[in-house]
Structure 1
Amino acid sequence: MSKPVFKYNSNYPSVADLKRKAKKRIPKFAFDYLEGGCNEELNLWRNEFDFKDVHLMPHYLRKHNGVDMSAELFGKRYDAPFGISPIGLQGLIWPNAPEILARAALKHNVPYILSTVSTASIERIAELAQGNAWFQLYHPTENRLRDDILRRLKESQYDVLVVLVDVPSFGLRYREIKAGLSMPPKITINNFIQAAVCPEWGIKTLLHGIPNFATLKPYMTGDLDIKQLGKFMNATFTGRVDADKIAAIRDLWKGKLVIKGVVSEEDAEKVVEIGADGIIVSNHGGRQIDAGESTIKPLKGLAEKFGSKMKIMIDSGLRSGPDIGRSMACGADFTFMGRPFMYGVGALGDEGGDHTISMFKAQLYQVMEQVCCEKLSDFPATLIK
C-alpha cells in the first residue's frame, strides 16, 4: 500500500499554530465567543489536558502492510474517523465559515454537523455537503417548530439527526458576558473598535452580510432587534430535553438518531432503551458545566458497556491526530472536533477547512504507522492500561 501525500500549509502544522494566527485575524469578541468556557474554564482545560494521560504502545518490529484510516459509520464509509462538530454563530467568527467547512467535508468525505444556531441554513449546507451533512437539533419548546425542522431535514435528505441534551440552561461564560456576546451578540463601541483592527474580517463580513440564524429565520416574525432576538432564543430553546422528548423524536425521525452530551451510564442506558443509534460523549467543549469531568475520562467505560449496542463517538478537547488515536484506543467508533476547524478557517479563510482536515489526516497516519495499526480497530490493543 503506497503512502498517501497530505498537502497542507507547512507554516501551520498544528492546531496551536492555527489558533495563534486566527487570534490575530478575528476580533476579540468573536474569538472570545469561540474560545470561552463556562465559569472558571477548568473543564475547558481538563478536556485537553486529560488526553495527555492516555498512552499508546508502539510496535516497531511487527510486519506492517500500510494504513487504512477509513471508518464505516451508519452504513457510510468515511475517509477518516473524524468529523466537524457543530458550532453556533460560525459566520460571526469568520464570514461564510459554515459554507467553507461544508465544502471541505464533501471534498475529504468526512461528516459536517450543522448547528440549529449556525449562520447557514439547512438547505444551503445540504446543497454544499450533500450526503456528508448531519444536523444538530436544539430541541424547541414548541412541537410545531420541531416538526417543521424535521420536515426540512427530510426534504433536504439529511441522514443523521443529532439531538443536543446538555443545554437545559445556557452556560455562564464570563468572556461572553463581558463582551456582550452571551446570546445573541450585542454591538458595542468596544466591539466596533475590535472589528476595526481586523480589516479582512470586516471586509468579508460586509461582503457576506451580517450573520444571522439562517435556519431559524422562517420562524422569526419581522426584523427582530437585539433584545427581541435574545427573548426569542430564550423562549424557543431553553429547557431540559428528557427521555420522553427524545422518544417522541425517535417515533418521528426515520433516519439515524444520535444523542450528544451523554457522559453518564444512566443516560446511556436510556438512550439504548429509546432505540437511538449512537451517542456523542461530549460536555459541549467545556462550555456548559465547569465542575464536570473531561470527556476522555468516561469514554472507555461507556464504550465497554454500550459499544455493542450503539455507536460511541466523542468530541470536546481533541486537538491532534494523537488525540484521535487515543480516543479510538479507548473505544470510540468516531471522533468530532469543533474549535480546531474554526481556528483553521479563522487563520486561512477559504483554505482553512481543507488545510485542517489534511493536517489531521497526516497526524493520524503518522500515529498509526508508529503504533503499527493497519486499521482503526487495531487501536484498542495499543492502549497502555
Structure 2
Amino acid sequence: MTVTVTQPPTTSAARQRPRVARQRPRWSELREVLRVRRPTLNPVERRLGAALTIRDLRKAAVGTTPRAVFDYVDGAADAELTARRNRAAFAAVELVPEYLSPVDHPDLSTRVFDREIAMPLIFAPTGYTRMMHHEGEAAVARVAARHGLPYTLSTVGTSTVEDVAAAAPGGEHWFQLYLTRDERLNAELLDRALAAGFTTVVLTVDTPVAGRHPKDMRNGLTIPPSLTLRTLFGMARYPSWVLNKLTTAPIAFASLRSMTGETDVIDAVRVADVVFEPTLNYDHLAWLRANWPHRLLVKGILSPRDARRAVEAGADGVVVSNHGGRQLDRTPATLTVLPEIREELGPDATVILDSGVTHGQDILAARALGADAVMIGRAYLYGLMAGGERGVERAVTILREEYARSLQLLGLNASDAIARHHVRTP
C-alpha cells in the first residue's frame, strides 16, 4: 500500500518572510560586550569588593576572624529572641512611595542636636574593639570623620579618648559612659572626654548586671576568661589575626588604666564590677547632668515612661536601645516602641534608635517612625573584622548607597522629607 504524505500548503506570507541578515562578529563590537573583570590580587580588596550588603560583610568576617571572636560580636543574650525581633520588626515595615517628584540629587544630611551630619547615622559604642581587628577604634573613628558622622567611644573600648581624638582630629566624637559608685573615676572619665573635645556623653543604663551569653560561655570568653582548647585551636587557624595581636599593643580597657596603675593588663573582674552597676539610679543621672556641660543622652530606653523621666532629669534626649539583644532577652524590638516614645517626648527632644540596623532602608524606616538618626554596631564591626578600616569604609558605603537609592525610589529628595505616611507597620 502506498502512503501519500501531503505537505501543508505554503502560504504567501511564509514565502515572503524575510531572512535575518547575518554577519561575522567584529572584535570592536565584542569588546564592548565582553569586558572581563581584571582579577583582584589583594585578598582584602577582593572580599570587600564582593560584598554588596552588610550580610555579605558578615559572611566575609567569618573567614577572617576566630569563631569565638565572631560569636562575641554576632551573638546575643539567652535564646537571642530580642536580636531576632529587632530584625523582624524592620523586615515587617512596608514602604509607601510617592512619585513625580525630582529625586536626582537627594540630600541625605540631617541635624542631630545643633549639628549637621552627612546622613542619619551614628557609630555606636562597642567594647573590646581591637579584639575584632588590631586597628580598632582608631580605624572606625577615621571612617566616621571622613563621612561626616559621629563616632561613640565606649568606656570599655580598647582605645582612649586621647587616642581617638588624635586618630580623627576633625571628627565629631561622643563618649559612652558606664557610671559607677566611684565618683573619682567618673569625674576623671568626664574630664578627659571634655579635654579631648568630645561633644556628647551617652549614659548606658541597661547593664545593671551582665547579660547571659551562652555562645561566649561555651567559647570561654567570660569574666574572667576561661578559654577552651577548642577556642585556642580555633584562634590558631587564623595566623594573621594571631600575628596582629602579638605584634601590636596588648588589648586592654584603655580608659580604665587608672584602676590598676599604668599596667596594660587590667583585672577583668574589677572592670566588670565597674561596668555592671546594680545600684544605678536617678541620683547618678542628676550627678552626671551637674558635671557634664554639653549634650547628654540616656541609652537603653524602651518605654515612654522611662524616656520622659530621663528628659525630666536633665537628659537632652534618649537612645531607644535594647543593647542589640545582648542584655535582657525577650524585650520588644526597638522599632516597635519608637513611635510611642517619640509621641511621649514630642518633636524637640533628640531620639536615636539603636539595635538591628543592617540596611539603608532600616534607616529610612526609623526616620519615618520618629528617630532623628540611628546607631549601628554589628554592621560596622562585620566590616572591621572583614578588612579593618577598609571594611568599615565598605560598610558605610553600602548603607549610604542603600539609603540614597531607597530615598529616590520612595520619591523623596531629602532625609527631612521622610514622614510617617511613607511607611506601614503591622
Q: TM-score range by the shorter chain?
A: over 0.9
Q: Offset of 1:182 from its aligned partner?
A: 2.2
Aligned equivalent of 1:368: 407
1:230 aligns with 2:292: no
Higher radius of gyration, 1 or 2: 2
Amino acid at match of 1:173: H
Q: Which amino acid aligns with 2:52?
A: P
Q: Once the 2 structures are TM-superposed, how far is the Cα of residue 254 of structure 1 from its aligned partner?
A: 0.4
Matches within 5 A, 1:165-184: 165-183=205-223
Unaligned runs of 5+ in 2: 1-44
Equivalent in the alignment of 1:263: 302
Name the residue aligned to 2:66.
27
Deviations 1:90-129 (A, max 9, x none): 1111112211101101111111111000111111012223
CA-to-partner distance for each residue in 1:219-248, whole Å, 9 max, x for gaps? 2247587xx713212332322432221111
Q: Which amino acid is the alignment partner of residue 252 of structure 2? A: N
In the superposition, the TM-score normalised over structure 1's length comes to 0.93
- Return the match for 1:154 from 163, 173, 194: 194
Q: Structure 1 CA distance, aligned partners of 2:83 and 2:315?
A: 28
Deviation string 1:261-281 (CA, Å, 9 cap, x unpaired) is 011111111112112111110
Give the conservation status (yes or no) of the 8 Å contact 2:48–2:387: no
Cα distance, 1:24–1:307 mapped onto 2, change above 3 Å: farther
Conserved 8 A contact 2:178-2:274: no
Confirm or deny: 8 A CA contact 2:223 2:269 kept in the other structure. no
Give the residue type in structure 2 aligned to 1:297: T
1:55 aligned residue (85, 88, 94):
94
Is 1:220 aligned with 2:238? Answer: no
Question: Residue type matched to 2:133 in 1?
Answer: W
Residue from 313, 328, 334 that aligns with 1:295: 334
Change (3 A) 1:187 1:180: closer
Pick aligned residue for 1:133 from 173, 194, 204: 173
Richer in helix (by share): 1
Greater mean deviation of Cα atoms: 21-30 or 58-67: 58-67
Which of 253-262 and 178-187 deviates more? Answer: 178-187
- The amino acid of 2:271's aligned partner reads M
CA deviations on 1:167-205 (whole Å, 9 max, x unpaired) are 010001111111111235444433321111112211221
Which residue of 246, 267, 287 corresponds with 1:206?
246
User: Structure 1 residue aligned with 2:359, among 320, 334, 347?
Assistant: 320
Question: Closer, same or farther in 2 for the Cα pair 1:231/1:9, shift >3 Å?
Answer: closer
Shift of the alpha carbon at 1:307? 3.5
2: CA distance, partners of 1:347 / 1:82: 21
Aligned counterparts of 2:58 and 2:108: Cα–Cα separation in 1 = 26
Moved more, 236-245 or 163-172: 236-245
What SS does structure 2 have at the residue aligned with 1:215?
helix
Name the aligned partner's letter for residue 85 of structure 2.
R
Aligned amino acid, residue 129 of structure 2: Q
> Can you list the C-alpha shifts for 1:29-79, whole angstroms capped at 9, x where unaligned?
111111111111111111111111111111233344631001111221111
Q: In the TM superposition, what are the counterparts of 1:60-71 in structure 2 within 5 Å?
A: 60-64=99-103, 66-71=105-110
Q: Does 1:350 align with 2:389?
A: yes
Indicate if the aligned counterparts of 2:363 and 2:374 stay in contact, CA closer than 8 A.
yes
Between 8-17 and 258-267, report the one with greater CA deviation: 8-17
Question: Which range is displaced more, 61-70 or 272-281?
Answer: 61-70
Question: What SS is found at the alignment partner of 2:255?
Answer: coil
Q: AA paired with 1:216?
A: L
In the alignment, residue 409 of structure 2 is paired with which amino acid?
Answer: Q
Partner of 1:91: 130
1:329 equivalent in alignment to 2:368? yes
Q: Could you tell me the percent identity over the aligned residues? A: 29
In the alignment, is the contact (CA less than 8 A) between 1:272 and 1:309 conserved in 2? Answer: no
Measured on the aligned residues, the alpha-carbon RMSD in Å equals 1.9
Count of residue pairs the alignment pairs up: 377
Alpha-carbon distance, 1:375 to partner: 1.6
State whether residues 143 and 389 of structure 2, in contact with CA within 8 Å, keep that contact through their aligned partners in structure 1: no
The letter of the residue matching 2:366 is S
